[in-house]
Amino acid sequence: MGRIGNIIDRKAKQDSKRAKIYTKLARLITVAAKEGGIDPEYNANLKNAIDKAKAQNMPNDNIARAVKKAAGDLSGNSFENITYEGYGPNGVAVIVEVLTDNRNRTAGDVRHAFDKNGGNLGTSGCVSFMFDKKGQIIVEKKDSIDEETLMMQALDAGAEDFVSEEDAYEIITSQEDFIAVKDALANGGYEFVNADILFIPQTQAELHGEDIKKMNKLIDMLEDNDDIQAVHHNWNQVE
């Protein structure tokens, strides 16, 4: 199974964690609305957060409640974005994106997850140079989609690269052009398996035996934490 196939497979597994995903998305929406205003037409971060929520089938009432929470500042909590970097089993590079109202609590949780699963938390910058921060849009292959048409629409909208995988098309953009490309394709009627700004590894590492089990447990442990929004790594999950 290729890298994109793993994303599709992982998305299916996440369906069992729906409530926890909604909690994280609601927090993302609320913070984006607090920082940039409650109108998604004038707040790109909020628009992207709402799009991510809709892609996960989050009910509109939940989305509206998260925006309203920001407007009324009901929680009074101050959240901050933090990025942690570290090493998984056998030196796999890992980046953890966090949105938390308690830096000390989250740092302890992240460190514990690494220590418990054969890894260690590193210093800022220790692995991020091994990744490119890019927009990534994944469209599942279907008979109704013409590859050349999709590719031309993506490139015309500003995409940097277009890759045809076994199960899906991967469209890569710069951070700056991500929203424009995503909106152009959405307006063209395309549905996305995933659309987000990610840390994409420049090279990939392989794991074997017990290290695979440890790495899976590390990812699961991190993703189960409500403070953690995303986990990126350079493990080549060849099946």
Q: How many domains are contained in the chain?
A: 3
Residue 9, domain CATH: 1.10.10.200
Task: Report yes or no on 85 lying in a domain.
Answer: yes
The residue range of the domain holding 107 is 80-129+203-233
**pLDDT, mean of each 10-residue run, the chain (239 residues):** 58 67 90 87 88 87 88 68 95 95 94 96 95 94 92 95 92 93 92 89 93 95 93 84
Both tokens of 223, joined, read 């993703």
Task: Report yes or no on 87 lying in a domain.
Answer: yes
Residue 1's pLDDT is 47
Looking at the fold, whether 120 and 178 belong to one and the same domain comes out as no
Task: Report yes or no on 239 lying in a domain.
Answer: no
Coil, helix or strand at residue 83: strand
Query: Does the reported pTM lie above 0.95?
Result: no
Residue 80's pLDDT is 86
Looking at the fold, whether 142 and 124 belong to one and the same domain comes out as no
Looking at the fold, whether 197 and 140 belong to one and the same domain comes out as yes
State how far the Cα of 228 lies from the Cα of 218, in Å rounded to an integer. Answer: 13
Closest CA to 23 of 216, 225, 220: 225
Task: Report yes or no on 238 lying in a domain.
Answer: no
Strand order in the sheet with 161-164: 161-164, 168-173, 131-140, 194-201
Looking at the fold, whether 214 and 118 belong to one and the same domain comes out as yes
